[in-house]
Structure 1
Amino acid sequence: MANCAPATASSSEPLTNETLPRTCNNCYLSYKDFSCYYSGHYDRLIQLCQDHGLLKKQAFCPHCGKECRLDLLKKGFRCDRSYAPYRKKAKKRCDYYLNIFKGTWFSRTRLDVETALFFVYLYVSDFFSYRVARTELALSDMAINDWSSFAREVIVHWCIRHKKQIGGPGTTVEIDEAKFGKRKYNVDRVSEGQWMFCGFCRQTGQFFVVPVTDTTSKTLLAVIMEYIVPGTTVVSDCWRAYDCLGDEGYVHLTVSRAINFVDPVIDAHSNAIARRWSKLRETTARCGRRRYNFVGYLSVAYFKLHFQDPKTRFHAFIKAAADLYPPPL
């Protein structure tokens, strides 16, 4: 089977089974391409889910061991084997049936496959909102809220599976802490919220962001040792919690942003991490945010920044959903 060739909205060729082959490898679909090719085509939607591991491609009858036929009308696999229960009697059909959605990610919802997949595409896009979901998919606020929770669950799982260290000898990682929250009466500094800790590697562009309970030296050092390879050059501000980095196998440089943004002597700066904070604040949900769901909101922001091209996020999401909810054997 061929790999999935890129298909963009600007392509002059229509989307066909030839331009979107089976066994997808990093789908590259715009919203226009996705809606034009899959909307109203139930067989294509099922094939899309099968190619990405969300649904079974085949099933075997437990009675006769033969491969079952996929019945799209009945939404399941059916065995058509005929047998004679007694000699010299008319043959009967086995008629074994297995729902294709049983035990999969779709078994938790009453939405049809098309609506569920279109919601996912909207959710991982840059223009998702409750208003857009209500208008485009005719969903209630309760349904949108439930499916947003399902989607965050998948993305949190993806973030856990793809956690790895960044940096290394010869590389520079900028680190910083910040508080996400709100100001009391919209004045003074942030008084309520969640402390976050972030690191960004200049050479590779890799980064991490994790919630922390406080900004003490013990807490931050544990995160640094978990996410940054020893021997890395670490650039931070002059917060005293970082003073111990030189004793833990890191090359530690500091810059005081109260004096200058780039140290004129050692040329240390933290401009990259400042831009990363700006992107995270833009991507993280601001309205209707619950503290107990903050890890989910943060994971969604990290997921979108990791896949900066919106056309690749849908593929990554449904592969993560298939990894979290693999079809039963």
Structure 2
Amino acid sequence: MARVCSGCECNYFEFIQKFYKNNEAAIAYLRDHGALPLEVICPNCKNICRYRAETHSWYCGATRKIHHRKKLCHYKVSDYKGSLLSGVKMEPYKVICFANHWLSKQWDYETLKQCLGLSEATGSVWQRYFAEVTEHWVDNQEPIGGPGVVVDIDETLFGKMKHEEGKSQSQIWVFGGIERDSKNYFIAPLEEPLTENLMSLILKYILPGTVIVSNRWNAYSPISDHDYVHQVINHSGDVTDKENAKAHTQSVELLFRDVQEWTVKPGNRPQFYKQYLARLLFQQQHTHSNINHYFFREVARMYPPDFETEDADVKEESNDHENQESEVSD
């Protein structure tokens, strides 16, 4: 995990005080965290482009000598190209202040309306954008374990039943693992079909050589077919390894203790359960003073600025300019 930037740590209110109605500071913050480029290389001339703050764009403007004449390069690209701000009309300070509020436990639309002047529709759109970032983080958690490291794993079902119909109203399967000594852990949604997806999560989040301790669920049987040491705990009462069973139980309780406080609220839609869980886990694994730092680092991972390779539209625009290049005499 990336080290927090110098002077970056600040709580909810300090963040607002620092960036509210300050677009210049907001852009500098996004640039410092990799969400906007520090420099852009012209794909035609391979020169470093110049930045125009008033238009939020990079331009080349370099000249090259052809037959005793100089030709001007017209390459120009938006500072926001490919980033989270691409095609967005909302001011940068509003974007990062929105994120600051969305990542807090006091999230509500009324504050957005009063402080940022955003409609509920706009807030809903940006909430979806930010949810994609935390989902991306959940899907790319660092693997745990390693040769000889003991990892306790378990699965659980969160939600409520609609008893009159006997159908699931608000439910989500969650799978996780925790290192018994260091307490490093991962938690991820377990989607249907459970048995097939379970092993793919184990291979993704647990390093080879790990000693994996689980219950007797049949879905865990394939673990021993891979590069793991698999130990099974029997909770039916005839446990022979009581010390190991106790340690496993304590680790699993720790793993899901905080997550169990999360309940799917009435009105939440099943297709968004992963979004709700991802936001909760992101909040839990980061403190109030560094959560924005890691969030915008994740934004940079999801939307890395890259201007070296032009898309078809830029190439076409560049070719048009090439045909109309200004000639400057010596």
Q: Please give the range of the TM-score, normalised by the shorter of the 2 chains.
A: 0.7 to 0.9
2:163 matches 1:193: no
1:252 aligns with: 232
Among 97, 119, 125, the alignment partner of 1:146 is: 125
**What do residues 246-278 of structure 1 show as CA deviations (whole Å, max 9, x unaligned)?**
78731223335x899x95796445133234324
Aligned amino acid, residue 276 of structure 1: L
Instruction: Find the aligned partners of 1:68 and 1:225 in 2 and give their Cα distance.
Output: 44
Q: Whole-Å Cα distance in 2 between the matches of residues 243 and 97 of structure 1?
A: 57
Question: Paired residues, what number?
Answer: 300
Aligned partner (choices 156, 162, 174) of residue 141 of structure 2 = 162
Task: Give the superposition deviation at 1:66.
Answer: 5.8
Match of 2:319 in 1: none
The answer to whether the aligner puts 1:310 opposite 2:288 as a matched pair is: yes
In the other structure, the counterpart of 1:14 is none
For 1:183, the equivalent position in structure 2 comes to 161
Q: Distance in 1 between matches of 2:59 and 2:194?
A: 59
Give the corresponding residue for 2:303.
325
* Residue aligning to 1:34: 15
Distance of aligned partners of 1:231 and 1:115 in 2 relative to their CA distance in 1, 3 Å threshold:
closer
| Deviation, structure 1 residue 240 | 5.6
Task: Compare relative contact order (CA 8 Å, sep 6+) and give the higher one, 1 or 2.
Answer: 2
For residues 149 and 5 of structure 1, the distance between their equivalents in structure 2, rounded to whole angstroms, comes to: 27
> What is the TM-score when the length of structure 2 is the normalising length?
0.72
Unaligned stretches of 5+ residues in structure 1:
7-19, 21-26, 88-92
Tell me the SS of whatever aligns to 2:233.
strand
The amino acid of 1:253's aligned partner reads I
- Matched to 2:80, the amino acid is F
1:1-150 equivalences under 5 Å are 20=7, 27-59=8-40, 67-78=48-59, 97-150=76-129
| Residue range with higher mean Cα deviation, 186-195 or 311-320 | 186-195
Task: Could you tell me which runs of 5 or more consecutive residues in structure 2 were left unpaired when the two chains were aligned.
Answer: 308-330
Relative distance call for 1:161 and 1:219 in structure 2 (3 A) is closer
For 2:106, give the aligned amino acid: F
1:311 and 1:244, CA in 2 relative to 1: closer, same or farther beyond 3 A? same
Task: Describe the shift of the 1:73–1:205 C-alpha distance in structure 2 as closer, same or farther (beyond 3 A).
Answer: same
Contact 1:284-1:300 at 8 Å conserved across structures: no
Give, in angstroms, the shift of residue 104 of structure 1. Answer: 1.9
Q: Which amino acid in structure 2 is aligned with residue 151 of structure 1?
A: F
Q: 1:284 to 1:28 in 2, by over 3 A?
A: farther
SS at match of 1:311: coil
Distance in 1 (CA, whole Å) between partners of 2:83 and 2:40 is 14
The letter for the 2-side match of 1:53 is G
**Alpha carbons of structure 1 residues 41 and 82: separation in structure 2 relative to 1, 3 Å:** farther
**By how many angstroms is 1:107 displaced?**
1.0
Aligned identity (percent) is: 24
Q: Which residue of 1 aligns with 2:261?
A: 282
User: What secondary structure does 2:156 align onto?
Assistant: strand
TM-score when normalising by structure 1 = 0.72
Deviation at 1:115, TM superposition (A): 0.5
